[in-house]
Amino acid sequence: MTFQASDILVAGGGIGGLSAGLALALKGASVRVMERSDHLSEVGAGVQIGPNATRILHGWGLASELAQVAVMPTQLQARDVRTGHVLGTLPLGERSERLYGAPYACIHRADLHALLLAAALRQGVDLQPGQGWSSMTTQGDVVAVRSDQGRSWQARLLVGADGLWSRTRSELGLHDAPRFSGHLAYRALVPQEALPAHLRTNQVTVWMGPRVHVVHYPVQAGRALNLVAIVHGSLPAQAHIWDAMAQPASLFQALGPVAAELRERLEAMHGWRLWALHDREPLSSPAQMANAHVALLGDAAHPLRPYLAQGAGMAIEDANALAQAWVGSGSVPERLQRYAQVRWQRNARVQARAIRNGEIFHAQGPVAWGRNAAMRLLGARVMDVSWLYAGP
């Protein structure tokens, strides 16, 4: 059995794994990324990246590349699903730059992935597609990993960036399965030029209603509109597939009556995809993020509900924190403990806030009335998340 050594082995070549590879390589580490899929690419649609994450991307030297493919929206607007009334507005754009030192960005997942992939390659990260890992043993200060294709590598650290259904979690003694949230996300993407002029937009809009909400925003440098509609429902047969085909009739039935402008926008979308939303309980200790020679990041450690738009952001923050811990003093386990201590409470807070936001977005009765009144009276003061955007 022939071993090929590197400092760090990353399991997973998605946004989290490439962020980790890039951040660690920028600190001088030798990094190899294993990806089970034969092709290093990303599916899905759009993601929102708050200034907490774009600030890190800028720090990695990616500001110009990000500006070429992302949209920096002018504002975030909240509206009522049923009436269409504007509930509140949060200015973004210049305000985000002034308060938080970085823009709020909307970007297609594939564009973000491609940006990170190109940067990782420039930094010498060794990418190994078609190589999921099948076994791991620890030999002193070295981790020996064997791929399911029969190849073997040694490293000082294994990073689990293998997503919601991570198998690297088991190396930390974590065997809990993801839990179904009871929410279903229907996603669609359409060229803005295919929409009537009054439906084209340069802002993020969130529509809130009883047991439903819809969010849409521009991606692909403004050329396309990304839309996600989330409803309550039962677990579909394709629960493990995050990009399954969907029938719009089932979405419209779950949504019920909606404002005319929203319905027109929904009817203009096509190619609907379905995603059953899963998560886990918020982290309760640093041991759920790292131990000995294994670290987790992103969804492998703390899958998030999408109601704070921080799934990609927390993975990017994790990667940056791991790289900073790596160049510190001490043994690998000591460095990983610093990483876990820095990250677990912030991630837990974001997980809990995302769950709470979902309850607020989907509220009914007096809670919904209170939400709407607060937004009308206080606007940006209740919609901003300064503790999040100013961190970590």
**Cα separation of 168 and 16, whole Å?**
14
C-alpha pair distances (Å), 119 with each of 67, 221, 246: 15, 19, 34
Q: Which of 93, 119, 74, 76 is nearest to 316 (CA)?
A: 119
SS3 242: coil
Q: Which helix (H) or strand (E) holds 20?
A: helix 15-26
**Cα separation of 277 and 300, whole Å?**
15
Structure tokens at 10: 């990353």
Q: Among this protein's residues, is 217 annotated catalytic?
A: yes
SS3 344: helix
Q: Which of 34, 230, 238 is nearest to 132 (CA)?
A: 34
> What is the DSSP code (8-state) at residue 3?
E
Catalytic residue among 217, 307, 339, 389: 217
Asked if 299 contacts 16 with a C-beta cutoff of 8 angstroms, the reply is yes
**Cα separation of 145 and 212, whole Å?**
44
Could you list the active site residues? 217
